[in-house]
């Protein structure tokens, strides 16, 4: 059993003159909830489409569940939602699921009941799909993706169109599915969603991989503390001159100091020598959003 469930090697997709995905190399470990993060138009859906065989890659290769190019057997072990869930508008939610279950060669009404209950659609299961709200359509899409108890889930913007409560429910569900040992590739442009749900993340911009790694690992190098002192101006001068401090700046009514985590305790001693006393000190957790903006905004061209 391989430890890498999805591996892409220089995967490229070109639509005429537009390069949608540019030599993307990803590794998604087994059992991880893996976020594919990027702004709209970054190429996330195209990557998903290529993995599912919906979109033919221009060049490069990939393997899914140990099968090169994602063969027939591999695809049967995958559940997916790509873009807005698409179903037959005149069929009910239950009949839509029954159809797709039947196409998979199975007929298990109890599975339909269980999945409809799981996604909170049991009460509307017999209503026509065309009467569903976007959030309900997303829920049905999630139920569809879970048909056949797949070991790999590809979820493209699964909370799109949902209200905050619905988003929270779906995120909980995704976390639970991840805890069950499933590998999940979750594409999203919602940074907090990826931060809350994912173990690992790959950030892509303009079709190129910007960075890939564990969410916690990516945030760790950005260790900063927020500091208030008895004399902020004097403290800033001292800190800026210090070799231990990587950077220091005044922001609002406090100082933000970048310093290696293990040395942050030395700040108070350093300042007290000059009779500047720390009145407040707290680690400043850099959000994924800030990190994302740092590397895709001003430094958006930085890649690999």
Partner 1 sequence: MTAEVLALTRWEWYKLRRRRLPWILLLVNVMLMQFTFWVSYASYRAGDEITLGVDPSTGIVGAVPAEVLALPNSAVFGLLASHGFVAILIIILTAPVTATGYGWGTTRPVRRVSDTRWLFLAAKLILVALLGAGATLVGTLSVTLSSQVAYVTLEGGRGIAASAAWGELIRTFAKVVYGLFPWIALATLFAVLTRSTRLAVGLSLGYAVVESIVFESLTGFEWFERVSGFVMSWAIDDWLGSTEAQLASIGIGDDSSLGTAAAVAAQAEALRGFLVSLAYIVILNCLSFWIFQRRDIAGAKGE
Which positions lie near partner 1, rule CB under 8 A? 49, 52-56, 70-72, 75-76, 78-80, 82-91, 95, 98-100, 102-105, 144, 147-148
Q: Find the shortest distance in angstroms from Cβ 23 to partner 1.
A: 19
The DSSP 8-state label assigned to residue 214 in this structure reads E
Rounded to whole angstroms, the Cα distance separating 34 from 43 reads 16
Q: Find the shortest distance in angstroms from Cβ 98 to partner 1.
A: 8
Of the pair 71, 161, the CB lying nearest partner 1 is at 71
Q: Find the shortest distance in angstroms from Cβ 127 to partner 1.
A: 14
Closest C-alpha to 77, from 153, 169, 13, 143: 153
Of the pair 65, 201, the CB lying nearest partner 1 is at 65
CA atoms within 13 A on the CB side of 75: 12
**For the CA atoms of 43, 83, 196, 262, what is the dihedral angle to 10 degrees?**
-10
Q: Find the shortest distance in angstroms from Cβ 241 to partner 1.
A: 57
Q: Find the shortest distance in angstroms from Cβ 179 to partner 1.
A: 24
Work out whether strand 245-251 and strand 224-229 pair parallel, antiparallel, or are unpaired: unpaired
Of the pair 41, 300, the CB lying nearest partner 1 is at 41
Work out whether strand 152-156 and strand 183-188 pair parallel, antiparallel, or are unpaired: parallel
Of the pair 76, 179, the CB lying nearest partner 1 is at 76
Of the pair 85, 207, the CB lying nearest partner 1 is at 85
Closest C-alpha to 157, from 112, 193, 198: 193
Q: How far is CA 48 from CA 6, 43, 62, 180, 248, in A?
A: 11, 9, 11, 22, 42
Of the pair 147, 278, the CB lying nearest partner 1 is at 147
Q: What's the helix, strand, coil split of the chain in %, to 5? A: 40, 30, 30
Q: Find the shortest distance in angstroms from Cβ 133 to partner 1.
A: 16
Beta pairing partners, 59: 12
Contact 3, 29 (CB under 8 A): yes
Rounded to whole angstroms, the Cα distance separating 103 from 88 reads 14
Of the pair 79, 178, the CB lying nearest partner 1 is at 79
Q: Find the shortest distance in angstroms from Cβ 153 to partner 1.
A: 11
Of the pair 67, 287, the CB lying nearest partner 1 is at 67
Q: In this structure, what are the phi and psi dihedrals at residue 299, rounded to the nearest 5 degrees? A: -105, 35
Q: Find the shortest distance in angstroms from Cβ 71 to partner 1.
A: 8
């Amino acid at each position: 059993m391989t430890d890498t469930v999805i591996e892409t090697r220089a995967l490229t997709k070109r639509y005429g003159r537009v390069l949608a995905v540019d030599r993307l190399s990803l590794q998604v470990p087994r059992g991880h909830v893996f976020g594919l993060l990027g702004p709209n138009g970054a190429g996330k859906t195209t990557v998903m489409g290529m993995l599912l065989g919906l979109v033919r890659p221009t060049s490069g290769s990939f393997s899914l569940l140990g099968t090169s190019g994602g063969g027939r057997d591999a695809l049967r072990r995958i559940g997916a939602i790509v873009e807005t869930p698409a179903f037959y508008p005149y069929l009910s939610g239950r009949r839509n699921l029954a159809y797709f279950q039947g196409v998979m060669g199975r007929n298990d009404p109890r599975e339909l009941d269980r999945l409809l209950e799981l996604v909170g659609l049991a009460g509307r299961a017999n209503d026509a799909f065309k009467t569903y709200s976007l959030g309900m359509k997303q829920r049905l899409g999630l139920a569809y993706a879970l048909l056949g108890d797949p070991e790999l889930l590809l979820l493209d913007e699964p909370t799109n169109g949902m209200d905050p409560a619905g988003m929270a429910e779906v995120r909980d569900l995704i976390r639970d599915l991840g805890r069950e040992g499933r590998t999940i590739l979750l594409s999203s442009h919602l940074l907090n969603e990826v931060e809350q749900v994912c173990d690992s993340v790959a950030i892509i911009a303009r079709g190129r991989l910007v960075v890939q790694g564990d969410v916690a690992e990516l945030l760790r190098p950005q260790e900063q503390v927020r500091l208030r002192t008895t004399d902020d101006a004097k403290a800033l001068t001292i800190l800026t001159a210090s070799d231990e401090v990587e950077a220091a700046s005044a922001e609002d009514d406090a100082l933000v100091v970048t310093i290696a985590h293990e040395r942050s305790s030395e700040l108070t001693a350093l300042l007290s020598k000059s009779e500047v006393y720390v009145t407040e000190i707290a680690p400043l957790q850099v959000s994924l959003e800030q990190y994302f903006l740092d590397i895709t905004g001003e430094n958006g061209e930085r890649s690999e």
